[in-house]
């Protein structure tokens, strides 16, 4: 496994639309292993492949509480089959927009379909943090960031703050 560099705003690569994976093979599992390691090291709870510069429909996630056993999850070609009409707010953050947090309102529950690490199809209901995280990560596959839901003023301020951090690093 290897750590990959996480791209941050305003890197234009983050705006790219990711394409479906044709086959879940060992090469793809290397990517997923690297993404998981990179996400843990950051640390974060979710990461989309485009955040390490790979425009494929791949996501990794781990929502286990700190100090408990890891529960890695892998999503290839995820699709939302259904989303609830009721929504819930959550204070989101993103490894590509470090140290910025703001509230985003999304459907409270979704039903999703994806291929897992072995390439098997899974259909699952998600709610709570899982629903928030999978919708946030799936937005990355469309080139959308959580700050795109904020006012233009807040978004510009967030990008400026990240640029300043990068310069200072």
Site pattern 48..87 for Ni ion (x: CB under 5 A): ----------------------------------------
Could you tell me if 162 and 100 are in contact, meaning their C-beta atoms sit under 8 angstroms apart? Answer: yes
Residue 47 C-beta: closest distance to Ni ion, Å: 7
Residue 34 C-beta: closest distance to Ni ion, Å: 17
Residues 6+ apart with CB under 8 A from 108: 84, 86, 87, 88, 127, 131
Residue nearer to Ni ion on the CB measure, 119 or 143: 143
Which residue in the list 5, 120, 124, 137 is annotated as catalytic?
Answer: 137
Residue 134 C-beta: closest distance to Ni ion, Å: 11
CA distance 38 to 41: 5
Exposed, middle or buried, 69 (CB in 10 Å: 0-12/13-18/19+)? exposed
DSSP assignment string, 26-48: HHHHHHHHHHHHHHHHTT-SEEE
Subset of residues 106 to 165 that bind Ni ion, contact rule: CB under 5 A: none
Does 137 qualify as catalytic in the annotation?
yes
Residue nearer to Ni ion on the CB measure, 62 or 119: 62
Residue nearer to Ni ion on the CB measure, 114 or 146: 146
Residue nearer to Ni ion on the CB measure, 100 or 108: 100
Count the alpha carbons within 13 Å of 58 in the hemisphere toward its beta carbon. Answer: 25
Q: Shortest CA distance to 116 belongs to which of 13, 14, 21?
A: 21
Subset of residues 82 to 111 that bind Ni ion, contact rule: CB under 5 A: 94
Q: How many residues in the shown chain lie near Ni ion by CB under 5 A? A: 1
Give catalytic residue positions.
137
Using CB under 5 A, list all residues that contact Ni ion. Answer: 94
């Amino acid at each position: 496994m290897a750590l990959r560099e996480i791209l941050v705003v305003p890197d234009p690569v983050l705006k790219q639309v990711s394409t479906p994976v044709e086959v879940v093979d060992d090469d793809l599992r290397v990517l997923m292993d690297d993404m998981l390691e990179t996400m843990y090291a950051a640390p974060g709870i979710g990461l989309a492949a485009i955040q390490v510069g790979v425009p494929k429909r791949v996501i990794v996630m781990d929502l286990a509480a700190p100090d408990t056993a890891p529960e890695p999850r892998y999503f290839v070609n995820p699709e939302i089959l259904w989303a609830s009409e009721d929504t819930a707010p959550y204070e989101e953050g993103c490894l590509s927009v470090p140290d910025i947090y703001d509230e985003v309102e999304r459907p409270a529950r979704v039903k999703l379909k994806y291929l897992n690490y072995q390439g098997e199809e899974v259909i699952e209901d998600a709610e709570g943090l899982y629903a928030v995280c999978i919708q946030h990560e799936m937005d990355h596959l469309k080139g959308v960031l959580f700050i795109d839901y904020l006012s233009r003023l807040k978004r510009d301020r967030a990008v400026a703050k990240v640029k300043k951090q990068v310069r200072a690093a």
